[in-house]
Structure formats: structure tokens, C-alpha cells
């Protein structure tokens, strides 16, 4: 199953981009024997529309166009919080169901268009706090790597 991250906004070169790359490279290596592939990042430019609502609608169109067919998970502070083990379990279940891909969507500064969120398979929250998209991308990349290690029985994850 292919894993994709679609984010509104571009990360500049620097330690944040390097950290995302490091975790995704590890996820590629540990995910391959598990039939988890890709771990691609699609970056979309932020909309320059005049209102927040118009920006979100325009960004949602770009996000939809960038994503492979499959499960769509939005990252939003109002989403469902799950443990690392449960997150790994979701990936495993979707893979075992034969889903072609799972895409994780990180919205822009205004968030994700509510109409688009309603069409998603799931919304996921790392916290009820709002985080900058750079940090969300780092946390997601780390959790994807952690999920592959959990599924592989690797000692990286040392939960209870």
C-alpha cells in the first residue's frame, strides 16, 4: 500500500525538512518488507484567494488532485486521537483490506475546507492544540516510521 502526505505550504531547506526526510527514509526501508511503500510528500502552494473560505476551497481542489486513489486522512485538532499502536493497526488493516493507498492531508494556515473534511475517511489529531504545518509534518513522518517498526516487531517503539 502506498503512503502519501499532501501538505499545503512548502518547507524551506533546514533542520525541519531534514528531519522529515530522515524519518520517511527510515519508513521506506522498514515499510518495504511490510508492503508499505511510497512515503511521498506532495507540497502545494498556499492559495492567494482573498478570503479564508476561498483559500480553503482552492487548496482542497489542489489537494484532491495530488492524492492517489485510496483512504484519505485529514490532520486536524478536532480529529480523533489514537495511540501509536492503534495508528499502526489502522495502516495494517487498510493494507490487509487491499487499499491501494492512504494519504494524509495537512492543511494550510486557514485549515482544511470543511466540505473536503466531510468527504475524508478519517480525521486524526495529534493534540487539541494547533500546530504549525512543519511540526505536524515532522510528527506524522515520525509516527509513520514508528508504525512500520511496530508492525515489524522492531524495538524502536517501546510502549507499555
User: Is 126 annotated to bind ligand?
Assistant: yes
User: Is 108 annotated to bind ligand?
Assistant: no
User: Is 129 annotated to bind ligand?
Assistant: yes
Q: Distance between CA 108 and CA 84 in Å, rounded?
A: 25
User: Is 128 annotated to bind ligand?
Assistant: yes
User: Is 127 annotated to bind ligand?
Assistant: yes
User: Is 104 annotated to bind ligand?
Assistant: no
Contact 130, 77 (CB under 8 A): yes
Torsion of Cα atoms, 106 then 11 then 129 then 160, to 10°? 90
List strands edge to edge, sheet with 101-106.
Answer: 37-44, 2-8, 101-106, 71-80, 122-124
Binding residues: 75, 107, 126-131
Binding residues for S-adenosyl-L-methionine: 75, 107, 126-131
Amino acid at each position: 500500500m502506498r503512503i502519501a502526505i499532501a501538505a499545503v505550504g512548502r518547507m524551506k531547506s533546514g533542520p525541519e525538512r531534514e528531519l522529515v526526510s530522515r524519518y520517511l527514509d527510515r519508513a521506506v526501508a522498514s515499510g518495504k518488507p511490510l508492503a508499505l511503500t511510497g512515503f511521498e510528500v506532495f507540497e502545494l502552494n498556499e492559495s492567494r484567494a482573498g478570503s479564508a473560505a476561498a483559500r480553503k476551497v482552492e487548496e482542497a481542489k489542489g489537494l484532491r488532485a495530488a492524492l492517489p486513489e485510496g483512504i484519505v486522512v485529514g490532520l486536524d485538532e478536532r480529529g480523533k486521537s489514537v495511540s501509536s499502536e492503534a495508528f499502526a493497526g489502522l495502516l495494517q488493516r487498510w493494507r490487509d483490506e487491499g487499499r491501494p493507498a492512504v494519504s494524509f492531508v495537512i492543511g494550510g494556515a486557514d485549515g482544511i475546507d470543511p466540505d473536503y473534511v466531510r468527504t475524508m475517511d478519517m480525521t486524526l489529531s495529534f493534540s487539541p492544540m494547533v500546530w504549525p504545518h512543519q511540526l505536524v509534518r515532522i510528527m506524522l513522518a515520525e509516527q509513520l516510521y514508528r508504525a512500520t517498526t511496530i508492525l515489524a516487531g522492531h524495538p524502536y517503539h517501546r510502549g507499555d
